[in-house]
């Protein structure tokens, strides 16, 4: 199951994606400049192309060990994420 797109939202600061979502699809959180924290549930196995590209404020990304596929450019432009 994929999730609806939250892309291009300048007000979004935190996202928690619970169990039940298996695919963070193509550009789902792209260009959310205020996004600081994302937690992905244990059921997610794939992160789509450019999913977090342009989220330059992202400082915290909590992933599970169930992710087996990460699309190109998913973390493009994330200088604050260490």
Q: What is the pLDDT of residues 34-71, one digit of tens each?
A: 999 999 999 999 999 999 999 999 999 999 899 999 99
> Residues of the chain with pLDDT > 90: what percent?
77
CA dihedral 13, 19, 20, 22 (to 10 degrees): 80
d(CA 72, CA 50): 6
Mean pLDDT of 70-75: 93
Tell whether the torsion through CA atoms of 29, 30, 33 and 38 is positive or negative.
positive
| Whole-number pLDDT of residue 2 | 77
pTM for this one? 0.89
Lookup: tokens for 76: 């493009």
Distances in whole angstroms, Cα of residue 24 to Cα of each of 4, 39, 51: 9, 12, 7
Of 66, 78, 82, which Cα lies nearest the Cα of 24?
Answer: 66
| Whole-number pLDDT of residue 82 | 64
| Whole-number pLDDT of residue 80 | 82
């Amino acid at each position: 199951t994929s999730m609806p797109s939250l892309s291009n939202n300048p007000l979004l600061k935190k996202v928690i994606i619970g169990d039940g979502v298996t695919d963070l699809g193509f550009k789902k959180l792209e260009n959310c400049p205020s996004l600081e924290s994302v937690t992905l549930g244990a059921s997610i196995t794939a992160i789509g192309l450019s999913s977090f590209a342009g989220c330059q404020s992202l400082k915290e990304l909590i992933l599970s060990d169930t992710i087996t596929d990460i699309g190109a450019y998913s973390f493009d432009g994330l200088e604050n994420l260490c």
